[in-house]
Amino acid sequence: ALRLVAQRNKVERLLAPLRLSRADLERVQALMKQEMERGLDRESNATSSVRMLPTYVCHTPDGTERGKFLALDLGGTNFRVLVVHVEEDNIHMANEIYVIPTAIMQGTGEALFDHIIECIVDFQMKQKLTGQVLPLGFTFSFPCQQLGLDKAVLLTWTKGFNASGCVGQDVVQLLREAAQRKQHTTLKVVAVVNDTVGTMMACGYHDPKCEIGLIVGTGTNACYMEERANVGTVEGDEGRMCINMEWGAFGDNGCLDGFFTSFDQLVDEKTINAGKQRFEKLISGMYLGEIVRHILLALVEEQVLFRGKPSHNLQNRDIFQTKFLSKIETPGLALLQVQGILCNLELDASYEDSVLVREVCRVVSQRAAHLCAAGMAAVVEKMRESRGLEQLTVTVGVDGTLYKMHPHFSQNLQQMLRELAPRCNVTFLQSEDGSGKGAALVAAVTCREA
């Protein structure tokens, strides 16, 4: 029994830094608020880790949008071209997935945008749309400095893209030039949209209270409707503008340093963007499995897991995928099945080992959900204050496989958000294909305004 107590103490000591108290989360919330305010301010914008990029999207859908639109979706798992019919109470769409060969992703910008135009031409032929001039919304999920709704300067490529001559250029201009080269005369780009904005707009079509977009998938990011008077980086004081927070980079200036554990440091060091996207690396699908793997390695080292037998397999990066957290944490799953999952990874787990692995998964996914709640609490509280309201009622449009598939993430997020922002009444609405629909809706709202 003494040995068990000693083991338990070791486990507790290792996991303690990952268990965030209410006070910790309030601190994160306050830091996020501070970074948001600095990001919105023209003078201090450069020193904030949260970029707070203006999107020039000034209205969410009001339900009167109608028409037929084209949409492009670049920067998710696939490149797609879509046609979207926005009708009363309904949105129909058809899409084609096109492969972008690695040679083109990492070739010249001209070749990349020529390829995109060729895909549009092919799509229009297949959909019998050749010759029609349809307003086009471009979901381009890379960080951009937007100078207008249809003017977006690429700040940096991510996610395996590295086409030359694009960083520092307006991607709409690059697309228009490619259309000219290809003598494609029906291109009419009206908006460039980030995927968070697309998600907010897609949900906004069904719920006019939707003024926040959230992604928790491979990465994490959020956008929300801010009072224009608070946006110091854009002229004008009337109405609102959607701000793409780029919140994944929260903490990159050192403001979250006290919250990173040794496991987080190990995960960060081995990424291609070490020191960057630090908040994202605590929360999103690309990293949670890796955090768990590093904790398991430490537990083996401490002789409290797998009988202290160092497992060869556990040394392999990315072997423990985030989808395993979802499986292992499934309510009612028999421990025998946890053993089975571990066995597939060639980890020889006893009954006690399975209990411990499940506990580690819970700690890591709960921390992620709670940090996400702290960020979201800063957003909704800022909206409430900016609008001078006692009580704010708002909807968040959400997308991303981690949010949708994990058995406890959304509940943990929502419950903690209620505690951290008690004066805000927040509903979460899952989006279906926000990047496609959303880009078309931005185009539709623009055409409605025009």
The active-site residue, picked from 48, 49, 73, 141, is 141
Q: Which is nearer to ligand ADP, 206 or 327 (CB)?
A: 327
Long-range contacts from 322-326, C-beta under 8 angstroms, 24+ separation: 322/285, 322/286, 322/287, 322/288, 322/289, 322/402, 323/289, 323/405, 324/289, 324/292, 324/361, 325/288, 325/289, 325/292, 325/361, 325/364, 325/365, 325/406, 326/405, 326/406, 326/407
Any contact of residue 218 with ligand ADP (CB under 6 A)?
Answer: yes
3-state DSSP assignment of residue 191: strand
What is the Cα–Cα distance from 360 to 18, expressed in whole angstroms? 10
Q: Which is nearer to ligand ADP, 38 or 406 (CB)?
A: 406
3-state DSSP assignment of residue 399: strand
Cα 195 → chain centroid: 8
54, 204, 213, 217: which one binds ligand ADP (CB under 6 A): 217
Q: Which of these ranges, 24-32, 294-302, 328-336, 402-410, lies near ligand ADP under the rule CB under 6 A?
A: 402-410
Q: Which of 195, 216, 200, 245 is nearest to 74 (CA)?
A: 195
Q: Which is nearer to ligand ADP, 47 or 78 (CB)?
A: 78
Beta bridge partners of 226: 241
Q: Which is nearer to ligand ADP, 278 or 406 (CB)?
A: 406
Q: Residues touching ligand ADP: how many (CB under 6 A)? A: 15
Q: Which is nearer to ligand ADP, 230 or 322 (CB)?
A: 322
For helices 351-386 and 22-40, the axis angle rounded to 10 degrees is 40
Residues in the chain: 450
| DSSP secondary structure string for all residues of 2-56 | HHHHHHHHHHHHHHGGGS--HHHHHHHHHHHHHHHHHHHSTTTGGG-SS--EE--
Any contact of residue 402 with ligand ADP (CB under 6 A)?
Answer: yes
3-state DSSP assignment of residue 152: strand
What is the Cα–Cα distance from 98 to 77, expressed in whole angstroms? 11
Q: Which is nearer to ligand ADP, 109 or 436 (CB)?
A: 436
Q: Which residue is nearest to ligand ADP (CB)?
A: 217
Binding mask 74-93 for ligand ADP (x = CB under 6 A): --xx----------------
Shortest spacing between CB 368 and ligand ADP, in angstroms: 10
The active-site residue, picked from 51, 80, 240, 293, is 80
Any contact of residue 285 with ligand ADP (CB under 6 A)?
Answer: yes
350, 401, 414, 425: which one binds ligand ADP (CB under 6 A): 401
The active-site residue, picked from 170, 195, 252, 268, is 195
Rule CB under 6 A: which of 134-153 touch ligand ADP? none
| DSSP secondary structure string for all residues of 115-151 | HHHHHHHHHHHHTT-TT--EEEEEEE-S-EEEEETTE
Q: Which is nearer to ligand ADP, 95 or 321 (CB)?
A: 321
Q: Tokens 């609008």 appear where?
A: 387
100, 319, 341, 405: which one binds ligand ADP (CB under 6 A): 405
CB atoms within 10 A of CB 389: 12
Any contact of residue 18 with ligand ADP (CB under 6 A)?
Answer: no
Q: Which of 449, 39, 370, 72 is nearest to 224 (CA)?
A: 39
Shortest spacing between CB 161 and ligand ADP, in angstroms: 13
74, 166, 286, 440: which one binds ligand ADP (CB under 6 A): 286
Any contact of residue 400 with ligand ADP (CB under 6 A)?
Answer: yes
Evaluated on CA atoms 278, 284, 287, 291, the torsion sign reads positive
Rule CB under 6 A: which of 233-272 touch ligand ADP? none
Question: Annotated catalytic, 22?
Answer: no
Question: Annotated catalytic, 195?
Answer: yes
Shortest spacing between CB 421 and ligand ADP, in angstroms: 25
Q: Which is nearer to ligand ADP, 286 or 416 (CB)?
A: 286
Question: Annotated catalytic, 141?
Answer: yes
Residues making contact with ligand ADP (CB under 6 A): 76-77, 217-218, 285-286, 321-323, 326, 400-402, 405-406
Catalytic residue numbers, as ranges: 80, 141, 195
